[in-house]
Amino acid sequence: MDATTLSLKKPGGLAVQLVHATTEQIRSGRLKAGDKLPTEAAIMKDFGVSRTVVREAISRLQASGWVDTRHGIGTFVLPKSEHPSFRISPEQMGTLREVIALLEFRISVETEAAALAAVRRTPDDLSELRLSLQAFNSALEEGRDAVMADHQFHQGIARATQNHHFVDLMHSMGAGVIPRARISGILTTDPERQNYLRRVNQEHESIYNAIADQDVEAARAAMRTHLANSRERLRKSDPDSPG
């Protein structure tokens, strides 16, 4: 990535500018399908931005289908053929009710994805899921929100189905579907937020264990419980949400 292509003059829009610079390099061919992006540390140094800005930019690139991140390996430019035609944009998740509606949609899709993953997962799939869990633990210990690790865990399950439609769907939704931003407004204290993240982590562990054991029904139930719990926490914060 060429730092000279980005002008960092508007603090509120650094992530957007970084996304623009990266997509321009992809469109121009300077970054090609399969190319690995620089590390977070390298991007921070080159552009003089914080880790938070880099992670937000990568999240936006994922949501737009430009890149794919695999924990422990790196972030890679996706081929144009893998850019999803179905897209859920951040603008479509502008209200709490829309986030709840998306969670309902995810329950129907990801419950079956977990079941398929339990049947079809490979040793490499399990390694990737374990790396995502470790990244979540690290974020928890460092007091971060773990959004990227959370999304990568769900993407890893989609890949473990060996069905590209599940993968495309997760790419189309991006890390923005993780309802952490909404939860952060509901959880008013750091201890409450940490307890919430620990519960999410435990739910992820249950899903992983079921997939590793190739227990189809347990994987299906664990994913349904995980997403339903998120939905119910949001519903309780919105008295006008549908029952």
Residue 126: pLDDT band (50, 70, 90) is very high
Give the gyration radius of the chain's Cα atoms.
Answer: 18
Cα(199)–Cα(193) distance, integer angstroms: 10
Looking at residue 9, what is its pLDDT?
46
Domain definitions of the chain by residue range: 3-82, 90-237
Whether the predicted pLDDT of 62 surpasses 50? yes
End-to-end CA distance of the chain: 48
Query: Rounded CA gap, 94 and 99, in Å?
Result: 8
3-state secondary structure of 243: coil
Query: Rounded mean pLDDT of 131-138?
Result: 92
| pLDDT (average), residues 18-40 | 88
Residue 227's SS3 state is helix
- pLDDT for 92 equals 53
Angle, helix 147-160 to helix 164-173, in steps of 10 degrees: 160
Note the pLDDT of residue 191. 75
What is the rounded CA–CA span in Å between residue 102 and residue 232? 13
Are 161 and 118 in contact by the 8 Å Cβ rule? The answer is no
Residue 163: name the closest of 215, 110, 123 by CA. 110
- CA nearest to 179, candidates 231, 133, 142: 231
Selection from 9-23, 87-101, 110-124, 164-178 with the highest mean pLDDT: 110-124
If one compares 88 and 70, the residue with the highest pLDDT of the two is 70
Give the range among 5-9, 21-25, 78-82, 218-222 with minimum mean pLDDT.
Answer: 5-9
Among 47-51, 99-103, 208-212, top mean pLDDT goes to 208-212
Q: Give percent above pLDDT 90 in the chain.
A: 36
Residue 7's pLDDT band, with cuts at 50, 70 and 90, is very low
Give the mean pLDDT of 118-126: 96
- pLDDT at 111 (0 to 100): 97
Rounded-to-integer distance, Cα 47 and Cα 2, Å: 9
Instruction: State the pLDDT confidence band at 10, using cuts at 50, 70 and 90.
Output: very low
**Model confidence at 171, in pLDDT bands (50, 70, 90)?**
confident
Whether 86 has a pLDDT exceeding 80, the answer reads: no
| C-alpha distances in Å from residue 242, one per residue of 96, 101, 178, 182, 235 | 11, 9, 20, 17, 8
pLDDT at 129 over 90: yes
CB 28 within 8 A of CB 39: no
Mean pLDDT of the chain: 81
DSSP 36: B
- Taking the C-alpha atoms of 143, 147, 151 and 152 in order, what is their torsion angle to the nearest 10 degrees? -50
The CATH number of the structural domain formed by 3-82 is: 1.10.10.10
Please count the residues of the chain: 243
Site of tokens 């972030």 = 75
Within a 10 A sphere around the Cβ of 191, how many other Cβ atoms? 8
More confident of the two residues 227 and 178: 227
Q: Is there a contact between 201 and 180 (Cβ–Cβ < 8 Å)? A: no
Residue 59 contacts residue 175 (beta carbons within 8 Å)? yes
Looking at domain 90-237, which of 1.20.120.530, 3.10.350.10, 3.30.450.20, 1.10.1060.10 is its CATH number? 1.20.120.530
Distance of CA 23 to the CA centre of its chain: 19
Residue 115 pLDDT > 90: yes
What pTM does this model have?
A: 0.64
